[in-house]
Amino acid sequence: MELLIEFLFSFIGEFFLQFGAELLIETGARRAGDLPEKCMPFIAFLGYGIMGLIAGSLSLLLFPHAFVRSSRFYGSSLVFAPIFTGLAMMGIGHLRQKRGEAVIRIDMFFYAYAFAFGMALIRLVYTKG
């Protein structure tokens, strides 16, 4: 039971951190006219990945330690949190589409995943603990 709770706290902490950062990026992209929409899809994918690396680096200023310090789950945040963050952003994209609002790239799974993976990668490499 302790093992499951440890995994859930680690996953939930990383997920909410990534999801919150993506919501901020989405808000900025919508206000700026979504500049990544004007470039080629592969370049936008790389751009979101790089923004994720930057967001991950900035998150280390606020949260320099891993949410759960366990060698048993080392690396799990790199696998699971970006997938679920991408799915959550895709869900937001579907809601926006149903409302007739414009869907931007970060509202699509692969772009949201690229951002979250970059963020998780930096946090995995540089978190203390």
Q: Is 32 in contact with 88 (CB distance < 8 Å)?
A: no
Each domain of the chain, given as residue ranges in start order, spans 2-126
- 78-113: string of b/e by CB count within 10 Å (b at 16+)? bebbbebbbebbbebbeebeeeeeeebbbbbbebbb
What's the pLDDT score for residue 56? 95
Beta-bridge mates of residue 128: 65
Q: What is the pLDDT of residues 19-30, one digit of tens each?
A: 999 999 988 888
Give the lowest-confidence range in 6-15, 34-43, 86-95. 34-43
Judged against a pLDDT cut of 70, whether residue 129 lies above it is answered with no
- The reply to whether the predicted model has a pTM over 0.85 is yes
